[in-house]
Structure 1
């Protein structure tokens, strides 16, 4: 018994030994914050500030959250004052928060350059490390013309390729507004160069998940042993965000997805009644709450 205790002590406390890695984060998407009244097609824009406040309060009650990420369309129209309002609410989050650009966040007037200056960054795509994970925030927006299509430019894809290569010893999770594996087909929302993007991640075995929004729908698909996770809008039914825990286990990399709707039930019910194809947006039970193990 004494020798067993010595072995356990050695394994757990000597330098060079690391426990199984785990990370927990929250993904919110398509907040569409606005100060203008009027709802549209189930989008509860008039109540967008209330919905965001509720989400922030719920997140601040959660334990051991490493960070929060907003995957685009943080504001409903590109505007500096609206972005400042969004930041003032997001800054109430206790965990650090990150962001990716969506098509509602920028346009030709309030373009990417102006947006990222307000965020005190130099690029619209970037990465950060947490435990044994690299998290990559991508930008597929087109700010020169009004469009809901996404496109990832060659320079950015080259950067992604290098970023994945230099972090090949880490699990890679990618955040972006636009899914490259659609939750459902849309002739107006797809990524123009999705094939070129997929070619990049197909070259790297460390990619484990691509997490997006844009379609306001809950879906979890798997392609080439990579999870493609679509998260619905906070402002439209099912008015929810995701809590994701990823942990190393002997069986593989374990993903636990928890679906967290707003507590503002009246607003959520109104949105459901006004949303066409509500079931399409909410997905199946396994698109909302599930556990998946990837073997890498």
Structure 2
């Protein structure tokens, strides 16, 4: 049985803004320079097939920053796909800020995007044969409210849609992490920075029913996280803007019966975070690199390799 190897990458939380814009003290002085460094690195990754950006592409939903993003990404040598972050649209209708419709039109200039009939920036496409990429819009309320939410229409659409692609391996993009582990759901630190618990659990049940999930990829926390539940890997990316400027590279080995996902992050620009930040943003070994056997519906879940237990 032939196994295909697919290499792809995830970049998150770029927060492009005018160089004169305000930024938190722990952010890069030049998010543009960070993004240029990321694209230069990705162009050197052998056999890279595509790149996904999991939200907060810009910081203030402003058109000049979106234009800057598109200009820099024109140098990337492989296709790329985008999901919406809470900093990418302004739901208040303020002049000079992107709303959802403008964000969609901007995306459609860069890759084929056909929206799901949910009223939000949800879509599904196949970047490669046998691979299904789905993006969900979990942004809520006033700009840039960090809490994530999934509406009933979105969950209903996803459940029905996955029934139409039962043999495809799924990569899900959602900016706000849909935590389903008890430890992370109970964390005070991330309580307002994730998808609401009931909706995250409903999403997990839908994905578990599909049974061919490569990964659920998020950003938003500016902290790397990784855990597996029912054979489904949940990975929250390190941020590009800092305090640790990094991206993740994935290597996926799949055939119709089984899959293996390997991952590691790449630290682009060496920074020296203070002791207060260091333990938080660096994550643990399992957050930074590892190997995960993927569950296939109807088969027993394989044990995790000892290296990442």
Shift of 1:276: 4.0
- State the secondary structure of the residue aligned to 1:159: helix
Report if aligned partners of 2:55, 2:84 keep a CA contact under 8 Å in 1: yes
State which of 230, 250, 254 in structure 2 corresponds to 1:244: 250
Report if aligned partners of 1:106, 1:143 keep a CA contact under 8 Å in 2: no
1:173 aligns with: 171
Shift of 1:217: 1.2
State which of 102, 121, 126 in structure 1 corresponds to 2:123: 126
- State the secondary structure of the residue aligned to 2:167: coil
Distance (whole Å) between structure 1 residues aligned to residue 129 and residue 288 of structure 2: 26
Distance (whole Å) between structure 1 residues aligned to residue 172 and residue 261 of structure 2: 14
1:280 aligns with: 280
- State the secondary structure of the residue aligned to 2:37: helix
State which of 27, 30, 42 in structure 2 corresponds to 1:43: 27
- Choose between structure 1 and 2: higher helix proportion: 1
1:293 aligns with: 293
Report if aligned partners of 2:122, 2:136 keep a CA contact under 8 Å in 1: yes
1:13 aligns with: none
Task: Give unmatched runs, 5+ long, in structure 1.
Answer: 1-17
1:111 aligns with: 99
Distance (whole Å) between structure 2 residues aligned to residue 152 and residue 239 of structure 1: 29
Distance (whole Å) between structure 2 residues aligned to residue 87 and residue 145 of structure 1: 22
Deviations for 1:238-260, whole angstroms, at most 9, x for unmatched residues?
Answer: 21000101102799411111211
Shift of 1:182: 6.8
Distance (whole Å) between structure 2 residues aligned to residue 23 and residue 71 of structure 1: 19
Distance (whole Å) between structure 2 residues aligned to residue 152 and residue 258 of structure 1: 29
Shift of 1:140: 0.8
Shift of 1:150: 0.9
2:193 aligns with: 189
Structure 1 residues 202 and 248: alpha-carbon distance in aligned structure 2, compared to 1, 3 A threshold: closer
1:10 aligns with: none
Distance (whole Å) between structure 2 residues aligned to residue 251 and residue 118 of structure 1: 38
Is residue 212 of structure 1 aligned with residue 218 of structure 2? yes
Report if aligned partners of 1:179, 1:191 keep a CA contact under 8 Å in 2: yes
Distance (whole Å) between structure 2 residues aligned to residue 194 and residue 295 of structure 1: 19
Report if aligned partners of 1:216, 1:231 keep a CA contact under 8 Å in 2: yes
Report if aligned partners of 1:41, 1:276 keep a CA contact under 8 Å in 2: no
Distance (whole Å) between structure 1 residues aligned to residue 250 and residue 131 of structure 2: 14
Report the count of equivalent residues: 272
Distance (whole Å) between structure 2 residues aligned to residue 137 and residue 179 of structure 1: 13
Task: Give unmatched runs, 5+ long, in structure 2.
Answer: 116-120, 297-309
- State the secondary structure of the residue aligned to 1:95: coil
TM normalised by structure 1 equals 0.85
Shift of 1:177: 0.6
State which of 63, 66, 70 in structure 2 corresponds to 1:80: 63
1:200 aligns with: 206
Structure 1 residues 40 and 223: alpha-carbon distance in aligned structure 2, compared to 1, 3 A threshold: same
Distance (whole Å) between structure 2 residues aligned to residue 231 and residue 241 of structure 1: 7
Shift of 1:292: 1.9
